[in-house]
Structure 1
C-alpha cells in the first residue's frame, strides 16, 4: 500500500514495526515516546540482557532534561523512586583539607539533579512499556545484521544459542551503546579521541555527610581529582577518579585502598568503608560522522561519547531520543513533505548540538577537575577565570544551554 510520503509497507499489510537495538535508558525512552504517539507502527526493542539495578553506570539526571521526562509523564514516579540532590559543590582534595571552593545547597522544590541509578531507571521504563500494547522487548536477542530495501530494512537478530530470525522493519535505530553493532554495520566512524585517563567508578558505603560533604562534590586536584556523589539514601556513594590510561584492572583493584585513603575525608588510617562495585572505563570525546543513513539511525552512546564531569552523557542521549521520536512520528504520520531531508536534518542538528553544547563543556569540566588549587591564590584564580565555579560561588549556578532540538525547525518537517 503506497502512501503520500513514499513509504510503502510490503504486500499492503499492516504497518511495519520500528526496531530499536538496545534496551538501555535511551533506547527504552525512545520506545516509550513512540508508543505514546498516534502512529500505528509497533515498536520492537532488541536487548541481550535484562536491566541491572546495581549497575555502576549513570547515577544522576540533570534538571536540563526534566522537561523530556515530564513530556513522557515520568516525573512523578522518578521523583518517588529517586532522590533530589541537596547540594552541589567544588572542593579541594583531602591533602588540601577537602576545602569548599564554591557550592550551593538546594531548597526543597528547587531544581536539583535527581539521583537514580541507570538500572532502576531502566526498570521503570520497561514497566511503562509493558503497560502499552504497542511495544515488545525481546530480551536475550541482539542485532547482528541488516539489509536495506527501498521500502524497508530487514533486521537480523540472534539469540545466544545461535538461533536467528529476520524482522522486516520500516526503520532500525541503534541505541546499542559505545560499542554499537549497528554503527559498525553502517560503516559510520566515531570521530574524536580517547582522553589520556582511565576513569574508575567505585560504589562504596561511607558517611560523607559526616565530614560536611554535599550530595555532589567535584574534587579539584591534578592527581586526586574526581566526583563523589550520593547514589541513594542508604549510604551508597559513587567515588569516581582517574588513573593512567594503561593501568590494568588488577592493578586498579590492588591500589584501591591507597586511592580511597587519598580521596575520602576523615582521619588517616581510620576510614571504614565498604566497596560494593568497581568499574574502570576509558573516557572518550567522540561523535559519529552521521546519525542517520538510509533507514538506519543512531542515538545515545552509539552516536556520541563524553566524559562524565559535566553530567551530559545520558542527558544528551535522552535529548536525542526525544527529538528523534518527534521526527519519526512526523514521517510515519505522513506529514513530512520530504522524510529523507528531515532525517538528514535531524542528524545534522543533533551532531551540532553535541559538538557545541555537550563536547565543549564536557572537555572544560574534565580540564577543571585537573586544576591545581593548592593555595588561596590558586583558588582565587580559578574563581576568576572559570565562569561556572565563579557563578556558583556567588550563589547563581549557571544553567547549560538547551539540549533540545525542535522538530519544526528542521528541513523537511
Structure 2
C-alpha cells in the first residue's frame, strides 16, 4: 500500500519501541519515535533470546546481524554457589588462598528448539535502530519528554496528539499528531501514567545487582554457559556476554540478589568496594580475584501488569505494559512478542481497514499471555533459584530435567512456541474482523 498520511507515534526508543517501528515501516507505515534520553541506552539489561521471541527476530533483517555479533548457547544449568578450587595453579600468589569455581551442576537443560541467542540488549537495540533508520520511514527524536496525551475520538483521522517538551535548552514544547500512539517507554512509563492505567501485582523484597565484568573462568562448560545459582539469599545468574576465549578474559553478566534486609541505597550498592565484595562470593576464578568491572546497576524486580493495555487509540507494549523478574529471560523477549503482535494489529487496521476494536484483541491477548504464562513461569524460575540447593531437586522441573523425562521437557518447552506469541492475523480471522 502507499504510505499513510499520518504517523504512528511511539514513545520510547528502546528495543520494543524500535522493533515496533521497524515492523510498521516494513508495511509502509511512517512512524515518529519520541525518546526522553539523549541517546540509545547502553545499561546492563537483557541478554538472551529464545523460543518464539527468537523466531520473531528471524522474520526481520536484524536477526542475521545479531547472530554475527552474538553467539548461541545450547542450554542452561542450575548450580550450587562457589566452592574452593583445589587446583594449586589456580592460586595467584602462593599464600594459600584458594581460587574458586562454580559449584556442582544440580541440573542442566539443553536448549529447546534452536537454543538461546546471547547478545547484550544495548547491542540489539543498536542493530534495530540501524535497520529502522535504513527504512526511511521512521523519524527518531531524542531528548523529547512526553508530558500529555490528547485523544480526539475513534472517528478522527488525526486520532491522538502527544504533547512533548525538549529536555535540553529552554524546554520548548511541541505537539505531534498521528493515528495511534504506542507507549513503549519502559517500566516507569510516562504514557501509562498519563493515561491513568494502574499496575497490578507485587514487587519482590530483594534487589538485584547486575554487573558486567571481565573475568577468566577456566572451568566453564561450553555446553551450558549460563548458570542459575541456587541459594536462599544470594541467588543469581552468571552468563557470558560474548564467546568465551580460552586463556583470555571474557565479558560476563553477574546478577546477584542482595539480602532483603540490606538498607543501603542503590548508589551505595554499586560502589566499587561493594561490588567487589559481591563478586568475591559470586565470581569464579583465581584469588585474589582479577576482574574488571565494566558496568553495574541495582534494581528491584516485580511481577506487575497494567490493568489494561489499551485506552482509545493508545496502546502499551513491553515493560510499559508488564514487568517480571529476569530469571528465564522473559522480560525483553515478551516485549518483542508484544511488538510483533501490535505491529501486525496496526498494519491490519491502517492498511487493511480492519475495525479499530482489533486493538482490544491485542490488549486482551497479550495480558492473558502475561497472566497465564509469563508471570507464573518467571515467578517459579525465580523461586527455584532462591531455594535450598539440597532440596531444590524435589521441584517437578528439576526432577524431570535430572531424570531426562521427555513429557516433562515437552510440557515445559512447548508453550514457549505455542502460548507465548500471539498470532493476530489468525485471531482476527477467527473473530470475524
CA deviation map 1:148-192 (0-9, x unaligned): 112111111211120111111100100000000000000000111
Displacement of 1:372 in angstroms is: 0.5
CA–CA separation in structure 1 for the residues paired with 2:12 and 2:322: 15
Residue 281, structure 1, aligned to residue 295, structure 2? no
CA shift for structure 1 position 104 = 4.7
Shift of 1:240: 0.4
Q: Distance in 1 between matches of 2:213 and 2:396?
A: 31
Match of 1:101 among 88, 106, 109: 106
Shift of 1:87: 4.0
Contact 1:211–1:265, Cα closer than 8 Å, also in 2: no
What is the CA–CA distance in structure 2 between the aligned matches of 1:307 and 1:106, rounded to whole Å?
20
**1:27 partnered with 2:17:** yes
Q: How does 1:223-372 map to 2 (within 5 A)?
A: 223-233=233-243, 235-245=250-260, 246-252=263-269, 253=271, 254-266=273-285, 269-336=287-354, 338-340=355-357, 342-372=358-388
Q: Structure 2: how far apart are the matches of 1:122 and 1:199?
A: 22
Q: Deviations over 1:90-143 (max 9, x none)?
A: 111115970111225679xx7221111111111111111111122111122122
Report what 2:132 is aligned to: 129
Q: Any idea what SS the aligned residue of 1:290 has?
A: coil
TM alignment of 1:81-230, pairs within 5 A: 81-95=69-83, 98-104=103-109, 111-150=114-153, 151=156, 152-160=159-167, 161=169, 162-210=171-219, 212=221, 214-230=224-240
1:51 aligns to 2:61 (yes or no): no
1:37 match: secondary structure:
coil
**Contact 1:48–1:142 (Cα < 8 Å) also in 2:** yes
SS across alignment from 1:310? coil
- CA offsets per residue over residues 24-81 of structure 1, 9 Å max, x none? 000000000000114xx411111123224x4211122123312111222332111111
Root-mean-square deviation (CA), in Å?
Answer: 2.3
Contact 2:218–2:285 at 8 Å: present in 1 too? Answer: no
| Secondary structure of 1:371's aligned partner | coil
Q: Equivalents in 2 of 1:322, 1:392: separation in Å?
A: 35
1:346 to 1:388, Cα distance in 2 relative to 1, 3 A: farther
1: CA distance between counterparts of 2:310 and 2:138? 23
Q: 2:60 aligns with which of 65, 72, 78?
A: 72
Local SS of the residue matching 1:239: strand
Do the aligned partners of residues 69 and 350 (structure 1) sit closer, same or farther apart at CA in structure 2, a change above 3 Å counting?
A: same
Contact map agreement 1:199 1:283 (CA 8 A) in 2? yes
Work out the CA distance in 2 between the residues paired with 1:94 and 1:73: 41
* Residues 301-332 of structure 1, C-alpha deviations (whole Å, 9 max, x = no match): 00000000021000110010101111111111
TM-score (norm 2): 0.84
Contact 1:98 1:265 in 2 (8 A): no
In the alignment, the residues of structure 2 paired with residue 348 and residue 330 of structure 1 have an alpha-carbon distance, to the nearest angstrom, of 17
Compute the displacement of 1:266 (Å).
4.1
* Cα separation, partners in 2 of 1:99 and 1:388, compared to 1, 3 Å: closer
Q: How many Å apart are 1:211 and its aligned residue?
A: 5.1
CA positional deviation for 1:383 = 3.2
Flag structure 2 segments of 5+ consecutive residues without an equivalent: 85-101, 244-248
Out of 224-233 and 98-107, give the one that drifted further. 98-107
Q: Distance in 2 between matches of 1:158 and 1:147?
A: 15
- Change over 3 Å in CA distance of 1:127–1:290 after alignment to 2: same
Q: Sort the Cα spacing of 1:17 and 1:61 in 2 relative to 1 into closer, same or farther, 3 A.
A: same
Distance 1:323 1:186 in 2: 21
Question: 1:206, CA displacement in angstroms?
Answer: 1.1
TM-superposition CA deviations, 1:196-250 (whole Å, max 9, x none):
1111101111112435574100000112210000011361001101113443134
Measured in 1, the distance between the counterparts of 2:292 and 2:280 equals 13
Instruction: Say whether the 8 Å CA contact 1:175–1:302 is kept in structure 2.
Output: yes
Structure 2 residue matching 1:255: 3-state secondary structure: helix
Length-normalised TM-score, structure 1: 0.88
1:131 alignment partner, SS class = helix
